[in-house]
Chains A and B, each alone.
Chain A
Amino acid sequence: MIYLDNAATTFPKPQSVLKAVSGAMSLYGANPGRGGHSMALKAGRKVFETRSILAQMFSCDSDRVIFCDNCTTALNTAIRGSLKKGDHVIISSLEHNSVLRPVHAMKNEGLISYDVFYVEPLNNDKTLENLKLLIKKNTAAVVCTAVSNVFGTVLPIDEIGSMLRKRGIKFIVDAAQAAGSHRLDMKNQSIDVLCLPGHKGLMGPMGTGVLLLSEGIELQPFKYGGTGSGSMSAEQPMFYPDRLESGTVNLPGIAGLKAGADFVRKAGFESILRRESELIRLLREDLSVIRGLTVYDYMQWNADTNLLSFNIDGYHSEQVAELADRWGIALRAGYHCSYLAHNSYGTEKTGTVRVSAGPFNTKKDIKILSFYLNKIALRKIM
């Protein structure tokens, strides 16, 4: 199988991740942060080491690294936990449903109002202007993705962060497609809350997500329960990470995430992105000469992005992915859980076929894909 669906989850995982998950289950699989026996302490230490690595990678305090079960939970906690009745929120036109739906649900509950700013293809200044025009007196937060999961568009996070910081508006970033490949620095990019999955660019196992908070940011808990601390009180602890981390954490997943993050740090996220971008550029070149195939180019030709969306005339995106699967190539088709993105860029009828490269893909993978896509476009594969 040629796996080119790394934006959904990276595959394969590094061997070190498999070993770390297995080790956590077989060698020290006790409940971290709870008991006092040596296995529980070892488990807790592993969780702490993972917090520390993530805190260093994204520039925040290790106390403020919260483990969740995925990026969606992190986003729900960030959105629900930071907004109050009467607040106004702005989200981008490229948001995943994991941002749109919690915001929309809060609107339906009569709690908040929201607007959507249009992300202009190839024009960051205009994008920023579109956002500024929507800011109201009661705008409490802007929630936006760092990289579109459908088109690979990179949003101007630095500029948005700096503009919002001056206005005292909270900046919540969905780093689902960016963590592990794009630069994310909470301090220097004025990001208040960063939400990310452990199983995509950070190469960890599924069932891992992380919520990172800047100093001074306070979130109301999304869930309440046991934390291994302050046990003789009915009140939820107000200190982090316990405040937002009730219940047993996913130790094998977190151990695997640490190994994944170590892999990324060792390889260097810049070089991972550079390599993946080269593959996507190669694919763009190959696809540009296939008649009847449209690449949705909402990025500069030389921009660094590790995914690309396209369609072939006369086919629904799902049909193309199905044909590719017959030839052993895994692509993602359809709407990618992003109603807003498809409506924004006019692909709501057919969805798109998405190709997303990972650290283990090669030029040969891309050449084989191009070969079969050409055949599909020429109706030589039915």
Chain B
Amino acid sequence: MHYTYIKFENQTYGEKAVSLLAKSGIKANLRRNPNPNHKQGCNFALFVNGNVWEAYDIITKNHVKNLGVESYRERL
């Protein structure tokens, strides 16, 4: 399974993005990043129900700090 998500340094920024997207009618699910970069350490991932780039655009336009969009393939 292939996933694309928006990455945040902490839950605060992630939750801020969730409530911002909700105002635009976009549902999103905040989780711990399942595929963290060992250099960055722990962080959070926002899985968007819909177009991730549209969500990313809303988030960046509203100055919510984030670490960009990332993808990973789940190993079964």
Contacts and interface: CB of A to CB of B under 8 A. Distances in A.
Interface in A273-321: none
A209 interface: no
A230 B41 contact: yes
Interface in B1-49: 9-13, 15-16, 19, 30-32, 38-43
A231 B11 contact: no
Given A33-B11, A36-B32, A63-B13, A232 B38 contact: yes
B12 A241 contact: yes
A228 B13 CA distance: 13
Contacts of A41: 11, 30-32
Contacts of A48: 11-12, 15-16
Contacts of B65: 63, 239
B9 A229 contact: yes
Contacts of A62: 12, 16
Interface string A25-59: 00000001111100001001101110110000000
Q: How large is the interface on A (under 10, 10 to 19, 20 to 34, 35 or more residues)?
A: 20 to 34
Interface of B: 9-13, 15-16, 19, 30-32, 38-43, 65
Interface in A348-367: none
Contacts of A232: 38-41
Interface of A: 32-36, 41, 44-45, 47-49, 51-52, 62-63, 227-233, 237, 239, 241-242
A133 B38 CA distance: 55
25 contacts: A34-B42, A35-B32, A36-B31, A36-B32, A41-B30, A41-B31, A41-B32, A44-B12, A47-B11, A48-B11, A52-B19, A63-B12, A63-B65, A228-B11, A228-B42, A229-B9, A229-B42, A229-B43, A230-B40, A230-B41, A231-B41, A233-B41, A237-B9, A241-B12, A242-B10
- Most chain A beta carbons < 10 A, residue from B12, B15, B39, B41: B12
A31 to B, nearest CB: 11
B40 A33 contact: no
Given A63-B65, A229-B41, A242-B12, 20 more contacts: A33-B10, A33-B12, A35-B32, A41-B31, A45-B11, A48-B12, A48-B15, A49-B15, A51-B12, A227-B10, A228-B11, A228-B42, A229-B9, A229-B10, A229-B42, A231-B42, A232-B39, A233-B41, A237-B9, A241-B12
